[in-house]
Amino acid sequence: MKRSLIAILALAVLLTSCSKQAAVIIYEAIVTVKGNSSTCYLQLDDNTVLNPTNIESNPYSGARTRARVYYQDNGEASQSGGTTKRSVTVLQLDSILTKAPVPNLGEERNDEEYGTAPLDIYSSYYTTVVDGFVTLHFSGMIGSLTTQIKHSFNLVRDVDSDDPLCFEFRHDYNEDILAPQGYESSGIVAFDISEILASLDASSYDITIRYTSLESGAEKSLEFHYTPGITATPTSNN
């Protein structure tokens, strides 16, 4: 049992009756919610689609949105054009902050517009490139556990004139005050780079994410080698 977007985390829940126990397997995954006002399907990876029997329309106004889902597999699968389609029952669906990369405004304006606050990226099973999205599991500092100030997270594109797939992951405190030292908090954010990948029209892609480390204060880089059809996990985080 592997915790990833292809071989997903399974949690065994035992339901007890008077005379016997029945095991119900609940799966957790990060998916792309797709569809419109009359359809909804969940892209698990580049080759697998989950068709929920209990959701009739895209709950996010038709937008392609990354989300964490808990579901039961109904045991029904079909093949179509190299894609596996599975019937599922969704138990819980929670959207993840999903954004497009932002333009490079130059170093000084990037600092002003997108912030310079440090963060760290976990090399966890959430941190992947799949279905044209870079999904990052990260941690950063907040002012308090009850802060009402929303921090901003952006992926800046075109930060290397020689490499269109080199990005900077930026964090803005938005005037949240770390007093006396703040609290570390984690989250997940997804960035849609599908149009950038399509413009390059390659069979595989090397993607670099630069960021300022919360732990060391030094510049670090996270690297992926993404081949469409195969979920990419970090090849290095230096």
Side-chain half-sphere CA neighbours of 66 within 13 A:
27
- Both 135 and 43 in one domain: the answer is no
- Mark whether 181 and 207 lie in a shared domain: yes
pLDDT at site 142: 94
Based on the domain organization, do 146 and 229 belong to the same domain? yes
pLDDT confidence of residue 11: 43
Query: Do both 103 and 88 map to the same domain?
Result: no
Same domain flag for 23 and 74:
yes
Please provide the size of the chain in residues.
Answer: 238
10-residue mean pLDDT profile of the chain (238 residues): values are 37 44 85 95 95 95 95 92 93 97 97 97 94 97 90 97 97 90 93 96 96 94 95 92
Environment class of residue 222 by beta-carbon count within 10 Å: exposed (0-12), middle (13-18) or buried (19+)? Answer: buried
Is 69 buried (19+), middle (13-18) or exposed (0-12) by CB count in 10 A?
Answer: buried
Q: Quick one: pLDDT at residue 3?
A: 41
* Any domain includes 2: no
CA-based torsion, 47, 34, 72, 9: positive or negative: positive
How far is CA 57 from each of CA 18, 41, 46, 78, 192, rounded to the nearest angstrom?
39, 8, 21, 21, 21
CATH for 85 = 2.40.50.500
Residues 117 and 72 occupy one common structural domain? no
Q: Collapse the DSSP code of 176 into the 3-class scheme (helix H, G, I; strand E, B; otherwise coil) and give the result.
A: coil
User: Residue 151 gets which letter from DSSP?
Assistant: P
pLDDT at res. 18: 45
Residue entry with tokens 């797939």: 165
User: CA neighbours within 13 Å on the CB side: how many for 142?
Assistant: 16
Give the structural domain span for 71: 9-95
Q: Are 175 and 216 in a shared domain?
A: yes
Of the residues 32, 65, 95, which one is the last residue of a structural domain? 95
CATH code for the domain of 171: 2.60.40.2370
Q: Per the domain annotation, does 186 fall within a domain? A: yes
Predicted confidence at residue 22, as pLDDT, reads 62
Helices then strands, each counted (H, E), the chain: 2, 16
| Same domain, residue pair 77 and 107 | no
- Looking at the structure, do residues 124 and 138 belong to the same domain, yes or no? yes
DSSP 8-state class, residue 226: E
